[in-house]
C-alpha cells in the first residue's frame, strides 16, 4: 500500500476531512484474493478493489476522517488477502 501512512491533521467534530487515497498493487506471480478491508473508528473508506488483483494491477482506497469527539484518533487501514496483510497507519485530531 502506498503511502503507508495518512495524517488528516485537525478536523472539527461533526465535519469531514478531505479525501486521502492509498494505492494497492499486486506484484507477485500469484493473484491476490482480498478477503477483507477494515478501518479504525473515526475513519471511513470506499474502494475500487476487485475481489482478486492480478500481477501488475491495483486499486485505490479513498479514506475520510470524521471525528465524533475532541481527541486524537489513531488506527489502521488493513487489507487482508491470501498472501497476508497490507497496512497503512491513520491519524487525525478531532477539534471543536
Strand partners, 62: 21, 46
Where helices occur in the chain by DSSP H, the ranges are none
Q: Tell me the average pLDDT across 30-43.
A: 95
Looking at residue 71, which CATH number applies to its domain? Answer: 2.60.40.10
What is the percent of the chain with per-residue pLDDT over 90, rounded to a whole number?
A: 94
Q: What are phi and psi of 52, to 5 degrees?
A: -125, 130
How do residues 44-90 score in pLDDT, each as one tens digit?
999 999 999 999 999 999 999 999 999 999 999 999 999 799 999 99
Segments forming the whole domain that contains residue 33: 5-95
pLDDT (0 to 100) of residue 93:
98
Q: In the predicted model, is pLDDT for residue 29 greater than 90?
A: no
Structurally, the chain folds into a number of domains equal to 1
Longest dimension (CA), the chain: 49
Distance, in Å, from the CA atom of 53 to the CA atom of 31, rounded to the nearest integer, reads 6
Amino acid at each position: 500500500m502506498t503511502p503507508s501512512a495518512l495524517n488528516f491533521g485537525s478536523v472539527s467534530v461533526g465535519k469531514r476531512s478531505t479525501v486521502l487515497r492509498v494505492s494497492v498493487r499486486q506484484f507477485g506471480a500469484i493473484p491476490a484474493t482480498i478477503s477483507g478491508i477494515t478501518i479504525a473508528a473515526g475513519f471511513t473508506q470506499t474502494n475500487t478493489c476487485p475481489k482478486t488483483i492480478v500481477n501488475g494491477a491495483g486499486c485505490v482506497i479513498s479514506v475520510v476522517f470524521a471525528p465524533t469527539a475532541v481527541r486524537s484518533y489513531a488506527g489502521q487501514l488493513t487489507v487482508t488477502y491470501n498472501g497476508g496483510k497490507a497496512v497503512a497507519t491513520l491519524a487525525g485530531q478531532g477539534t471543536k
